[in-house]
């Protein structure tokens, strides 16, 4: 019985010595792996946050690209406009500034309404009656209105 207890004690001491040896041998490697795992999890979280920010920025940019940003009015045939044509352009721009910020797709469906709006449109400028007709309408991020203006004779 005593021999058995001695063998059991030697066996248990061997197990303890083996476990201690393995702990000292493998322990630092396990700690290093835990540290690397935590570091990779942090990097993953940072990258996921960065992806979310980029997706949000992309959504905003896509929304900006799909809305009307500016209205450009050109009166007459020439690029150079006289004072009367400049005033007509200002009034037309004021009449259509409500389009800024609207979706391009929605405005392309409404293009006929814009043509109707400027069919024989009359403005009073410097005690002159000016009739405006829309010749060309281009709807993009910038809306281009090409109009003709004629001064009516009283």
Q: Going residue by residue through the chain (154 aa), what tens digit of pLDDT does each one get?
A: 888 989 999 999 999 999 898 888 888 899 999 999 999 999 999 999 999 999 998 887 776 668 888 999 998 876 666 888 888 889 999 999 988 888 888 887 788 888 888 888 899 888 889 899 999 999 888 899 999 988 887 6
Looking at residue 45, what is its pLDDT? 96
Cα 108 to its chain centre, rounded Å, is 21
- Locus of tokens 């940072």: 46
Strands 121-125 and 128-139: antiparallel
Instruction: Report if pTM > 0.95.
Output: no
Which residues, 6 or more positions from 108, have their beta carbon under 8 angstroms from its beta carbon? Answer: 139
Q: Using CA atoms, how far apart are residues 123 and 129, in angstroms rounded to an integer?
A: 6
Distance CA 123, CA 64 (A): 33
What pLDDT score does 42 carry? Answer: 97
Q: What are phi and psi of 152, to 5 degrees?
A: -80, 145
Among 68, 72, 113, CA closest to 89: 72
CB 141 within 8 A of CB 69: yes
């Amino acid at each position: 019985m005593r021999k058995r207890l001695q063998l059991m004690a030697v066996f248990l001491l061997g197990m303890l010595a083996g476990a201690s040896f393995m702990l000292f041998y493998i322990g630092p490697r396990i700690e290093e792996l835990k540290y690397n795992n935590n570091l990779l999890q942090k990097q993953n979280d940072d990258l996921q946050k960065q992806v979310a920010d980029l997706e949000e920025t992309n959504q905003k940019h896509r929304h900006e690209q799909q809305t009307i940003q500016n209205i450009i009015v050109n009166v007459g045939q020439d690029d150079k406009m006289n004072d009367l044509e400049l005033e007509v352009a200002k009034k037309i721009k004021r009449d259509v500034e409500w389009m800024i910020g609207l979706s391009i797709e929605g405005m392309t469906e409404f293009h006929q309404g814009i043509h109707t709006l400027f069919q024989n449109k009359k403005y009073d400028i410097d005690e002159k009656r000016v009739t405006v007709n829309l010749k060309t309408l281009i709807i993009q991020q910038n809306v281009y209105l090409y109009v003709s203006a004629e001064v009516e004779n009283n």
